Structure 1
Amino acid sequence: MRPMLATLTESVPAGPQWVHEVKWDGMRVLVEAKGGALTVTSRTDRDVTVAYPELVPLADLYDDMVLDGELVALVDGRPSFAGLAERMHVGNARRAAALASSRPVTLMAFDLLRLLGQDLTSQPWAARRQLLEQLEIDGPRWQVPPTYDDGEGLLDATADQGLEGIVSKRRASAYASGRRSPDWLKLPHRHSESVVIGGWRREVGGSLLGAVLVGVPGPDGWDFVGRVGAGLAGRAGAAVLHRLRPIERGGSPFASHVPREDATGTTWVEPEVVIDVASLGRASGRLRQPSYLRVRTDLTSADLWETTDG
């Protein structure tokens, strides 16, 4: 079984057939309790149980149960993806136990997929949710967060509180394991910022622009902050490439390290073209889920430095 995925939307769906939840900035997992043992599986079907020992007591609640949810690291009461990052790839049990004590995670359980041998995925969301709430499983390191009827109000509230966004779910929807469904719609609050292009890469198997490498002003020069490919298909990518061709150069313009997987196959350019990108912020210095918005013909790379200097 794999998680059901939400489809990106640009507006909040209206009507009584929809219910709305907070979109948590964390790591999607399926949590299975069976026969006194616990298994935590990532969205990519990887067993990550060893990394989260604080969840093990969940296995004592029910003899057979599968929960869908999000692991979050709460910092000052708010989810912090950066705070979660160092927990995500820990394979050593002793280190995981130490981190569980100093930087614990919380499971936000929002769906119930199996209980006591009964597969619930064909049941409507409303029935699964009612049963999940009846389990009363809230504990020190896991909880069932509330749902809301007012999607627009929740969107405004999550923006005010600095949360990631909202997810809207059709009350009658079955659980589409491993599929992206229009019955679940996600609307994140995406941050927009201006960055400079330092290189470009071809699309896989083609000659057109597939992605650009971007940076921002740093203490020693341009700091590499990631690769942007979303939004650059078709005419948008062709227009950006037209601007980059005349300013190609022999080496990287970034003062900070560019990982090999990003640098390999990159055509470097002078850091002159400024674009706006939308993202979910940064983790470990890299843009999260960035997408191209537009070329800023009104800005030069020097303008970015002036903004940084205050």
Structure 2
Amino acid sequence: MLATPAGPAGLPTGPGWSFEVKWDGFRAMARSERGRLRLDSRSGLELDDRFPALRDLAGVTADGTLLDGEVVALVDGVPSFEAVADTARHARAQLAYVVFDVPVHAGDDVCGAPLEERRDLLAGLDLPGCAIRSQVFADGPALLEVTRERGIEGVVAKRDSSPYRPGARSADWVKLAHRRTRTAVVGGWRPDATSSSRAASLLLGAHDADGSLRFLGRAGSGLSAALATRVAEALSAHPAAAPPFADALPATARKDARWCDPQVVVQVAYRERTTAGVLRHPVVMGLRDDVAADPWELA
């Protein structure tokens, strides 16, 4: 079940709504398969081998329980997407699985039960040390302010009576982030002037409803030396002879660019989109291979 982005009015308020932290990590469903933990991303990618520190969750899911949650890496108590995306940094971060729903409990499908009942079932589970129950708050505006002060991504409002709709985006869950984020494909890149094995900037794109690759802009901020090296390595595996974009690119974007098939997906944060659809002040947060890129039409 996916949350709907909040509109201009912000988060819903009033009776029947409660609020949780919006975590900055990898969304994953946890279940058991042949006695071992199975973590699946939204796109169906198996994540369990990537996060062996979470294997104790198998004891919770062994009876047929299915958990919905987020794999997060806490650095000084604050979720870090860069840390959870970079397996080499897990040793320096506290890896955890934040559980916020239980669509199947002990083999029983409880998707039709109201959220408040599923939360009661979740509260009764004996979770291992690698798992954290998502806390529930009554005051959305206060939680929004606290998350802003602490550098946490945002807040999700949830209707207490809502059923669980697998794979669907529902207005019963509404998310509000302090900064906008999205996934994008890379259609070209510029190597670093001092080392061609590192990317200095990326040309971002998204496919529209017709399947055409549209230009989202160029991003260079956020590319640390380690991330720039990993991105360049990934992009070098998909070279292209010509720009894959349907749009005419500005000369500044084309200069010194290396083209690639739009196979590599990155997560970016940005302030807003222009009327032409270009991202303002995009920052590269990390590589994503667990989800597909967001469509062009996503605001």
What's the offset of the Cα at 1:283?
1.3
Match of 2:154 in 1: 165
Structure 1 residue runs of 4 or more that deviate by more than 6 Å after TM superposition: 196-202, 288-292
For 1:20 and 1:49, the matched residues in 2 are separated by 28
* Alignment-mate amino acid for residue 112 of structure 2: S
Q: 1:171 to 1:198 in 2, by over 3 A?
A: closer
Q: 1:252 to 1:169 in 2, by over 3 A?
A: same
Match of 2:285 in 1: 283
SS at the partner of 1:153? helix
Q: 1:199 to 1:56 in 2, by over 3 A?
A: closer
Candidates 252, 255, 262, aligned match of 2:254: 252
Residue deviations 1:168-192 (CA, integer Å, cap 9, x gap): 1110010000100111111111169
Q: Which runs of 5+ in 1 are unaligned?
A: 88-97, 227-240, 264-272, 293-310
Q: Does 1:22 align with 2:21?
A: yes
* Alignment-mate amino acid for residue 217 of structure 2: L
Candidates 145, 156, 174, aligned match of 2:163: 174
SS at the partner of 2:254? coil
Matches within 5 A, 1:84-123: 84-87=84-87, 101=91, 103=93, 105-123=95-113
Q: Which has the larger radius of gyration?
A: 1
Stretch moving more, 53-62 or 154-163: 53-62
Match of 1:130 in 2: 120
Match of 2:62 in 1: 63
Q: What is the TM-score with the length of structure 2 in the denominator? A: 0.66
Query: Aligned residues, how many?
Result: 242
Contact 1:277 1:290 in 2 (8 A): no
Match of 1:43 in 2: 42
Match of 2:174 in 1: 185
Contact 2:216 2:279 in 1 (8 A): no
Match of 1:301 in 2: none
Contact 2:29 2:67 in 1 (8 A): yes
SS at the partner of 2:14? coil
Contact 2:222 2:284 in 1 (8 A): no
SS at the partner of 1:158? helix
SS at the partner of 1:59? helix
Residue deviations 1:202-252 (CA, integer Å, cap 9, x gap): 957589x93233245899xxx9xx9xxxxxxxxxxxxxx9xx97x954982
Match of 2:12 in 1: 13
Stretch moving more, 38-47 or 165-174: 38-47
* Alignment-mate amino acid for residue 75 of structure 1: V
Q: Does 1:210 align with 2:214?
A: yes
Match of 1:295 in 2: none
Contact 2:83 2:90 in 1 (8 A): no
Match of 2:133 in 1: 144
Q: 1:199 to 1:86 in 2, by over 3 A?
A: closer
Q: 1:54 to 1:197 in 2, by over 3 A?
A: closer
Residue deviations 1:29-75 (CA, integer Å, cap 9, x gap): 00013674211111111222211111111222453211100000111
Match of 1:155 in 2: 144
* Alignment-mate amino acid for residue 9 of structure 1: A
Match of 1:229 in 2: none
SS at the partner of 2:176? strand
What's the offset of the Cα at 1:77?
1.0
Contact 2:203 2:253 in 1 (8 A): no
Q: 1:48 to 1:212 in 2, by over 3 A?
A: closer
For 2:279 and 2:208, the matched residues in 1 are separated by 20
> Would you tell me which structure has more helix in proportion to its own residues?
1
CA root-mean-square deviation: 4.2
Q: Percent identity?
A: 33
What's the offset of the Cα at 1:121?
0.7
Q: What is the TM-score with the length of structure 1 in the denominator? A: 0.64
* Alignment-mate amino acid for residue 95 of structure 2: V
What's the offset of the Cα at 1:120?
1.1
SS at the partner of 1:122? coil
Residue deviations 1:60-116 (CA, integer Å, cap 9, x gap): 2453211100000111111111111123xxxxxxxxxx8765555210001111122
Match of 2:191 in 1: none
Q: Which runs of 5+ in 2 are unaligned?
A: 182-200, 232-245, 265-275
* Alignment-mate amino acid for residue 48 of structure 1: L
For 1:117 and 1:50, the matched residues in 2 are separated by 24
Contact 2:204 2:219 in 1 (8 A): no
